[in-house]
A and B are shown apart, each in its own frame.
Chain A
Amino acid sequence: MTSLKRSHATITPTTTLSSKTYLRTLKSGKVQKIVRELYLRQDIPCSSQLCTVCLEQQASGYHQKAAPFVLSATPAATKQFPQGHYLIPDTNAFLNGMDLFEAEGAFTDVIVLQTVLEEVKNRSLPLYHRLIALTKNDGKRFYVFFNDFRLETYVQREAGETINDRNDRAIRKATAWYNEHLQQAASARKSVRCPAVVMISDDRDNIRKGKAENVTAFPLRDYVSQLPEADKLLDMIPERSSTRDGKAELFYPEYMSMSAMLTGVKAGTLHQGIFNVSTYNYLEGSVHVPAFDRQLIIQGRENSNRAVSGDVVVVEVLPKDQWKAPSSKVIEEDEVNKNENADNEDESEGIVTEQERRALQEEVKKTHASGLENQPRPTARVVGVIKRNWRQYVGHIDRDSVRGGSKNGQAQQTVFLIPMDKRVPKIRVRTRQAADLLGKRVLVAVDSWGRDSRYPVGHFVRSLGELETKGAETEALLLEWDVQYRPFPKTVLDCLPAEGHDWKVPASKEDPGWRGRRDLRDLIICSIDPPGCVDIDDALHAKKLPNGNFEVGVHIADVSNFVRPNNAMDKEASLRGTTVYLVDKRIDMLPMLLGTDLCSLKPYVERFAFSVIWELDQDANIVSADYTKSVIRSREAFSYQAAQLRIDDDSQQDELTQGMRRLMMLSKKLRGKRMAAGALNLASPEVRVEAESETSDPIDVKTKELLDTNQLVEEFMLLANISVASKINDAFPQTALLRRHAAPPKTNFEELSNQLKVKKGMELRTDSSKALADSLDTCAEPANPFFNTLVRILATRCMMSAEYFCAGTLSYPEFRHYGLASEIYTHFTSPIRRYADLEVHRQLAAAIDYEPLDASLQSRSKLEGVCRNINFRHRNAQQAGRASVEFYVGQALKGRVLEEDGFVMRIFSNGFVVFVPRFGIEGLIRLKDLAGSERDEVDGVFDQAEYKLEFDAVGKGKRTVELFQKVRVKIEDELEGSTGKRKIKLGLV
């Protein structure tokens, strides 16, 4: 009888087939046994430029081009390896020292084994992506060697051997093989220089076994200390966790096991959500869980149990007698715990310091007062963390935590890093460069937060530069908001048209570029944009038809013609998601050549466009709509101001101006209809920073002014977006990429409407967007025109944020855009700066049978992934833009003392928040500062029901501050002693 079984039992040097078996648990709870067959090969190159054998036998890839070899023939030498060396780090080396590997110039010629790469992937996906990015970075010379597919380096797991031991053995075997292989290569070339191969591992056992097998091996720390600039590099290695003496006090409760948490969440006894920390009170966090309408409150360090803002946590609701009202007090970490020593964890202190405890006591006292805001709300405590969302944090070193004696020494010490993001706790960092880093913006990574440590432990990554310098601060906020700002890689630039700036619309209509395109070059089209705009997305025209109706066209840059789905440029754009606008800088989604030239609908030149052409009647009702790819020639590019002037100038009677007047007339009708349907007119504080053109130093701050022409453009863009949305939704009901704005839950407005009722006797109705729009109009005070805007700003903060989604995931009524009062909406009009628009272009092109739809746009799961990413990027881009304005406003106010009008936006028991419309800034005024006291805390008489605060101002007697009150404030900037950082400070006049 012949055996049916393929025998995998023995691997002889000639068998090329093996298999590996493992179990996979599916989401549904099913467990699958997976068997993967491995075909071992001998043509996987070592990729060292020394080696000629591998070069010859390497399989040629795409285009018959063999991949160039990565590892240098003359790698960097050190004292110990005068002939140069290649590195083979193990998994833990990457997990612990990723920042080190990323550091500029330190680690080159690194061999990343497949075994290691897979282990990194299993342990941490973010680190895996960073490692992959490293291997793609040409300068670093990181090479992924598929050791498990190469016959000579494949290792069969032995009976009774753990997976870790097997992997360690695989790493040693690969190292030994490289060693031998390179020696052969060197002798074949008759070269005297033969680089050493060094294994990096922190596993003592692994190193010992390596020594026995003649493999050169070092722990990461030992290896790094041999390098030049070792001090700087050593800081990037995280501390071994909990190496302190055994009986260290455990401050925090232990986390539940993962399976216990998942069971609890499924059973509904525990809840999962994202942990958010209040910006005003670092001791109070909240978690929104699907089971409850209102957020669960988490108060105090012990309950938040090492969760950091952004983590996905599992919480348990506390018994009712522990429910509390949300805090009515401002608590800032650097105020409360100013003088802590980072080095020693004082035994007398628990996780809650005495000051913190006192602050919390106040809270409890407050809960007994009545009032809507004051009703006790369910509180919860964190029992475990499902997923850490730790990223790299930007911050500065706390001056007080640096030991006096060693301010200029090189001794290693522990310092506190105060993150820029107030919601993130201080991070304890060990460094030798404390003195150098003072007064600098630094980037740190969080490594761990053990039960025995009050604060998370991190390590230093790099310094961004001096605090307050433009370069450092800009980079800081780009890092903080995760904006990809590196230049486009070569693979992306390779996707650009070869002609570069000389690209032109083909002259001959036989050219494939003209296929399916309508020739609209004779239309009188113009574009209206902000002054100085170079990436012109849209252009417009309007023409009177013989039947008295109007033909109106919106022409959008045809970016999808240049960015084909799934090439490197598309992938990069999809990753960036949006162009980010900072005050003095633009971080493009697409390379400059496309964004500002080839796609941009510049005047006087022919450009490809995607046109939406309607026939509108006198009342701006749509008679018909038509979508087509086209070629246009814009006659003029106006700024809003210039367009307004031209329309208002009666002496201009040319066709272009007439067209703009028609557009203006129609846009007003469109707007009227939209407002009647209940569209909201919301406000957000927008300011513009005037900068001196040469140095881009800010000179002055102005609030943005809105002209009719702004609204003209906006109306037609909305019209185009809505038309396109219903068109693609008809064509692809499952996969259309749309944008929605959910109606805010009623509870969101409760606080604001109560405040308005109590303070102003006004009613805010929130049952529909129409009701809200109408009642917002009534919230006005003739004497105080800004009051209405203030209410609108506050109302905007109560709303949900709009989001992209994929049509198949929701039912039609949920598509609604609340703010625009439209049934359906998408983004179509700015493909140069938003990825969503680009995808919508592709879908629309397929809907009009211009080209087939790419597979990536037909898969709902892929589109959902795209939506998640662009929603995230979109939010971050907005935040980064705001942070940038804030920074420049601060710079503009530098060294000045001004008096301005402000409005009280929020009241706490120990201070209040004032909004200054002229600069769009909001600032906290503490009673403590007004009283001029150096004591810890000053409390006024706080009437929570009436939103009123009474206190003694120094030299001015008793004063009362109420919500929405107009106050005169003094604005000045102040240098903070402990941080060396400039802060805007508001004071009451």
Chain B
Amino acid sequence: MAPYTNIPLSPAELSYLQTSLSATPPIRPDGRSPTQFRPLVAEADILPSANGSARVCFSDGTEAVVGIKAEVERTGRADVFREGESEGEDVNATGEGKGRNEWLEVAIDVPGLRDDDALPVFLGAMLSEALGADGALRDRLWINARFHWRLYVDILLLSPPLSYPLPLLSLTTHLALLNTRLPALLSQGDEDPLFNDDWDASTHLYPRPSKPSPATQKPPITLLVTTTGPNILFDPSRDELAVAESVLAVSAAPTASGSLSVVAIRSVDPPSRLTAAGVPREINSASGATATASAGEVLAAREKDEGRGVWRAPRGGVGRKVVAEVVKMVVAKGGVGEEVLAGLEGVET
């Protein structure tokens, strides 16, 4: 997948970026540390008639709005209401293990792209995969044996996709889900659901504890991580993505015990793969070399350019060790994941 193939950087610039990002410690163009996030602006509960909503604005000007609507729906199976059965199910009326992934519908709208274009489809799949992997969410949509909530997560990217928008959309969705409230149920058992008409009485989809505790259930977040040389960089900017050797989308969600756990990892085709390679000086006619080199010679010369003299598109692939290292950095206590979650929790509604 290639959202922006025309990276406006010359091989020399790419090479420069690559070199500085591979240094130890890496030197990022905006001077951030490897795990530091760019500042962002976020607000929640901005759409009054939605069940939950949020807006996040990154400093590079990309901006997204997420609105979440919940609708009561009849569960397909067992339309017949049997007296005897309902008695037994009252005991276990929590919906544990009864939820289904198809109750969650994620739709992404990116300006200038069709719904079935690769980018929105791929982004949607990644986000719903993370949401689905967290079994707690779908179980919360269970009302009773006959009814469930259908959750429509409508994600709207307001700006053009300047950089890979996955982290932006994920964080906005996270914030919206965190603020999503469902009407309070009045009926009991397998009756047709009846709800309290007082909005203030509605309950959070992700219940909030009275005092902050690590054990809180929260929706998952998906972070974008790149590797350049030996370094692991979080929240890559557009330029950093252009030279990334590999791009990983890591989804993590808090577990019941309070620690973070990774629920999904996807590698993303790095855009750097499509950049044009530089030409080594020895065969560059512009720098005075004899212009007799054949195409075969050029290729061979590039292969031999062991010392990284010029920019060459990375071959892809990421080592197991690196992946393990990424996971560790995300889920570790006081690691990147917790930092992001804590940051988003502070957003006022």
- Contact yes or no, A23 B72, CB < 8 A: no
Q: A5-B46, A31-B72, A267-B81 are in contact. Are A157 and B200 (CB under 8 A)?
A: yes
User: Would you list which residues of chain A between 874 and 906 have a CB under 8 Å from chain B?
Assistant: none
A21 surroundings in chain B (CB, below 8 A): 48, 199-200
A24 surroundings in chain B (CB, below 8 A): 197
Q: A23-B183, A23-B199 are in contact. Are A1 and B192 (CB under 8 A)?
A: no
- Distance in Å: Cβ of B330 to nearest Cβ of chain A: 28
- Distance in Å: Cβ of A512 to nearest Cβ of chain B: 49
- Distance in Å: Cβ of A157 to nearest Cβ of chain B: 7
Is A624's CB within 8 Å of the partner chain B?
A: no
B122 surroundings in chain A (CB, below 8 A): none
- Contact yes or no, A269 B72, CB < 8 A: no
The answer for the CA separation of A24 and B195 in the assembled complex, in Å, is 9
The answer for the CA separation of A757 and B197 in the assembled complex, in Å, is 60
Is B273's CB within 8 Å of the partner chain A?
A: no
Is B174's CB within 8 Å of the partner chain A?
A: no
The answer for the CA separation of A21 and B197 in the assembled complex, in Å, is 9
Q: A21-B48, A35-B48 are in contact. Are A1 and B197 (CB under 8 A)?
A: no
Is B162's CB within 8 Å of the partner chain A?
A: no
A22 surroundings in chain B (CB, below 8 A): 197-199
- Contact yes or no, A19 B195, CB < 8 A: no
- Contact yes or no, B192 A259, CB < 8 A: yes
B183 surroundings in chain A (CB, below 8 A): 23, 31, 33
- Contact yes or no, A263 B191, CB < 8 A: yes
- Contact yes or no, A33 B198, CB < 8 A: no
Residue of A nearest to B146 (CB): A263
- Distance in Å: Cβ of A462 to nearest Cβ of chain B: 37
Tell me the count of chain A residues lying within 8 A, CB to CB, of chain B.
28
Q: A33-B199, A257-B187, A259-B186 are in contact. Are A25 and B194 (CB under 8 A)?
A: yes
A25 surroundings in chain B (CB, below 8 A): 194-195, 197
The answer for the CA separation of A342 and B156 in the assembled complex, in Å, is 70
The answer for the CA separation of A5 and B46 in the assembled complex, in Å, is 5
Is A4's CB within 8 Å of the partner chain B?
A: yes
Q: A23-B183, A29-B192, A31-B72 are in contact. Are A269 and B48 (CB under 8 A)?
A: no
- Contact yes or no, A260 B191, CB < 8 A: yes
Q: Which of A1, A23, A264 contacts B198 (CB 8 A)?
A: A23
- Contact yes or no, B51 A33, CB < 8 A: yes
B187 surroundings in chain A (CB, below 8 A): 257, 259-260
- Contact yes or no, A4 B49, CB < 8 A: no
- Distance in Å: Cβ of A584 to nearest Cβ of chain B: 51
The answer for the CA separation of A266 and B146 in the assembled complex, in Å, is 13
Interface band, chain B: 35 or more
Is B338's CB within 8 Å of the partner chain A?
A: no
The answer for the CA separation of A275 and B49 in the assembled complex, in Å, is 41
User: Would you list which residues of chain B between 176 and 232 have a CB under 8 Å from chain A?
Assistant: 183, 186-200, 202
> Which residue of A23, A24, A157 has the most chain B CB atoms within 10 A of its CB atom?
A23
Is B60's CB within 8 Å of the partner chain A?
A: no
> Which residue of B48, B51, B57 has the most chain A CB atoms within 10 A of its CB atom?
B48
- Contact yes or no, B72 A19, CB < 8 A: no
Is A508's CB within 8 Å of the partner chain B?
A: no
Is A501's CB within 8 Å of the partner chain B?
A: no
Is A258's CB within 8 Å of the partner chain B?
A: yes
- Contact yes or no, A23 B191, CB < 8 A: no
Is A675's CB within 8 Å of the partner chain B?
A: no
- Distance in Å: Cβ of B319 to nearest Cβ of chain A: 40
The answer for the CA separation of A23 and B202 in the assembled complex, in Å, is 9
Is A163's CB within 8 Å of the partner chain B?
A: yes
- Distance in Å: Cβ of A21 to nearest Cβ of chain B: 4
Is B43's CB within 8 Å of the partner chain A?
A: yes
Is B80's CB within 8 Å of the partner chain A?
A: yes
Is B55's CB within 8 Å of the partner chain A?
A: yes
> Which residue of B74, B194, B202 has the most chain A CB atoms within 10 A of its CB atom?
B194
The answer for the CA separation of A30 and B197 in the assembled complex, in Å, is 12
B41 surroundings in chain A (CB, below 8 A): 1
The answer for the CA separation of A264 and B49 in the assembled complex, in Å, is 32
Residue of A nearest to B144 (CB): A263
The answer for the CA separation of A4 and B43 in the assembled complex, in Å, is 9
The answer for the CA separation of A25 and B196 in the assembled complex, in Å, is 9
Is A262's CB within 8 Å of the partner chain B?
A: yes
- Contact yes or no, B200 A30, CB < 8 A: no
Is B240's CB within 8 Å of the partner chain A?
A: no
Is A3's CB within 8 Å of the partner chain B?
A: yes
- Contact yes or no, A263 B81, CB < 8 A: yes
Is B87's CB within 8 Å of the partner chain A?
A: no
Residue of B nearest to A163 (CB): B198
- Majority SS at the chain A contact face: mixed
B46 surroundings in chain A (CB, below 8 A): 3-5
A257 surroundings in chain B (CB, below 8 A): 187-188, 191
- Distance in Å: Cβ of A272 to nearest Cβ of chain B: 14
Q: Which of B50, B51, B57, B190 contacts A263 (CB 8 A)?
A: B190
Is A34's CB within 8 Å of the partner chain B?
A: yes
B71 surroundings in chain A (CB, below 8 A): 30-31
Contact pattern, A 1-31, Cβ under 8 Å of B = 1, otherwise 0 = 1011100000000000001011111000111
Is B83's CB within 8 Å of the partner chain A?
A: yes
The answer for the CA separation of A779 and B35 in the assembled complex, in Å, is 102
- Contact yes or no, B72 A30, CB < 8 A: yes
Residue of A nearest to B181 (CB): A33
- Contact yes or no, B195 A5, CB < 8 A: no
Contact pattern, A 448-482, Cβ under 8 Å of B = 1, otherwise 0 = 00000000000000000000000000000000000
The answer for the CA separation of A257 and B74 in the assembled complex, in Å, is 21
Contact pattern, A 54-79, Cβ under 8 Å of B = 1, otherwise 0 = 00000000000000000000000000
Is B134's CB within 8 Å of the partner chain A?
A: no
Q: Which of A4, A157, A259 contacts B194 (CB 8 A)?
A: A259
- Distance in Å: Cβ of B268 to nearest Cβ of chain A: 28
Residue of A nearest to B80 (CB): A267
Is B245's CB within 8 Å of the partner chain A?
A: no
B43 surroundings in chain A (CB, below 8 A): 3-5
Residue of A nearest to B349 (CB): A5
The answer for the CA separation of A21 and B187 in the assembled complex, in Å, is 21
Is B45's CB within 8 Å of the partner chain A?
A: yes
- Contact yes or no, B195 A269, CB < 8 A: no
Residue of B nearest to A25 (CB): B195
The answer for the CA separation of A258 and B186 in the assembled complex, in Å, is 11
- Distance in Å: Cβ of B80 to nearest Cβ of chain A: 7
The answer for the CA separation of A267 and B85 in the assembled complex, in Å, is 14
The answer for the CA separation of A19 and B49 in the assembled complex, in Å, is 11
- Contact yes or no, B198 A269, CB < 8 A: no
Residue of A nearest to B189 (CB): A260
- Contact yes or no, A29 B199, CB < 8 A: no
- Distance in Å: Cβ of A35 to nearest Cβ of chain B: 4
Residue of B nearest to A5 (CB): B46
Q: Which of B189, B194, B195, B199 contacts A258 (CB 8 A)?
A: B194
Q: A35-B48, A267-B81 are in contact. Are A259 and B191 (CB under 8 A)?
A: yes
Contact pattern, B 69-94, Cβ under 8 Å of A = 1, otherwise 0 = 01110100000110100000000000
B49 surroundings in chain A (CB, below 8 A): 33-35
The answer for the CA separation of A5 and B179 in the assembled complex, in Å, is 15
The answer for the CA separation of A30 and B190 in the assembled complex, in Å, is 17
The answer for the CA separation of A22 and B202 in the assembled complex, in Å, is 10
- Distance in Å: Cβ of B147 to nearest Cβ of chain A: 8
A262 surroundings in chain B (CB, below 8 A): 191-192
> Which residue of A157, A257, A263 has the most chain B CB atoms within 10 A of its CB atom?
A263
User: Would you list which residues of chain A between 251 and 309 have a CB under 8 Å from chain B?
Assistant: 257-260, 262-264, 266-267, 269
B50 surroundings in chain A (CB, below 8 A): 33
A266 surroundings in chain B (CB, below 8 A): 81, 192
A263 surroundings in chain B (CB, below 8 A): 81, 190-192
Show 29 A/B contacts (Cβ-Cβ < 8 Å), sorted by A. Answer: A1-B41, A5-B43, A19-B48, A21-B48, A21-B200, A22-B199, A23-B183, A23-B197, A30-B72, A31-B71, A33-B49, A33-B50, A35-B49, A157-B200, A163-B198, A257-B188, A257-B191, A258-B194, A259-B188, A259-B191, A259-B192, A259-B194, A262-B191, A263-B190, A263-B191, A263-B192, A266-B81, A266-B192, A269-B81
- Of all A-B residue pairs in the complex, the 5 with the closest CB atoms, nearest first, are A259-B187, A267-B81, A35-B48, A259-B194, A21-B199
